[in-house]
């Protein structure tokens, strides 16, 4: 049974003239990302692969999680389209647990599409754990179950 971990990046600093893709985390964001990594480890949720947006704030969030997994940086995640995220998930192969680090509203929409049970809000550093029967190609709307949800 595949497990998908869907993480919204941690709290980022306002733009203030900085290009959006280069925004970095705030101190709170760094603490929240470290706590999310501890939460994952405490539940034995270690990803076999990470798909991460190319934005600085997602890369820094991932670094603070401190998960020992190979990483693929995907510009499609930064484009913030839930259908593109679902395609990336469905194209996954040979992993049991996948971590996707991205942005709202697409990560929230992905969780909702897969489970029909997404919470009303998906704050920064929120993390959904989704499971379903079958393989990655069986990741269709409504196929998953929201097994856990963590917020800072």
| Closest to 54 (Cα-Cα) out of 40, 42, 72, 39 | 72
pLDDT of residue 16: 81
pLDDT of residue 117: 85
And the tokens for 101? 């680090």
Is there a contact between 63 and 90 (Cβ–Cβ < 8 Å)? no
pLDDT of residue 151: 96
pLDDT of residue 1: 85
Is there a contact between 75 and 52 (Cβ–Cβ < 8 Å)? no
Q: Would you give the DSSP letter of residue 17?
A: T
And the tokens for 135? 């393989």
| Closest to 12 (Cα-Cα) out of 88, 104, 82, 90 | 104
User: Could you tell me the pTM of the whole model?
Assistant: 0.96
pLDDT of residue 149: 97
pLDDT of residue 148: 97
pLDDT of residue 15: 77
pLDDT of residue 124: 97
Say how far apart CA 18 and CA 16 lie, in whole Å.
Answer: 6
Q: Is 125 left (phi over 0), alpha (psi -120 to 50) or beta?
A: left
Could you read off the pLDDT tens digit of each residue along the chain, which spans 152 residues?
Answer: 899 999 999 999 997 888 999 999 999 999 999 999 999 999 999 999 999 999 999 999 999 999 999 999 999 999 999 999 999 999 998 999 999 999 999 999 999 999 998 889 999 999 999 999 999 999 999 999 999 999 99
Strands 71-73 and 49-52: parallel
End-to-end Cα spacing for the chain: 27
Q: Give the other-Cβ count within 10 Å of 77's Cβ.
A: 24
């Amino acid at each position: 049974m595949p497990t998908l971990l869907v993480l919204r990046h941690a709290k980022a600093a306002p733009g203030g003239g900085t290009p959006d893709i280069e925004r970095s985390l705030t101190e709170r964001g760094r603490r929240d990302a470290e706590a999310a990594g501890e939460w994952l480890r405490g539940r034995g949720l270690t990803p076999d692969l990470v798909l991460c947006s190319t934005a600085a704030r997602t890369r820094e969030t991932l670094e603070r999680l401190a998960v020992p997994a190979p990483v693929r940086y995907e510009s499609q995640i930064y484009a913030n389209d839930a259908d593109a995220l679902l395609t990336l998930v469905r194209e996954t192969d040979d992993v049991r647990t996948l971590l996707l680090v991205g942005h709202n509203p697409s990560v929230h929409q992905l969780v909702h599409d897969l489970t029909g049970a997404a919470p009303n809000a998906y704050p920064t550093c929120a993390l959904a754990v989704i499971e379903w029967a079958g393989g990655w190609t069986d990741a269709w709307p409504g196929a998953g179950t929201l097994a856990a949800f963590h917020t800072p």
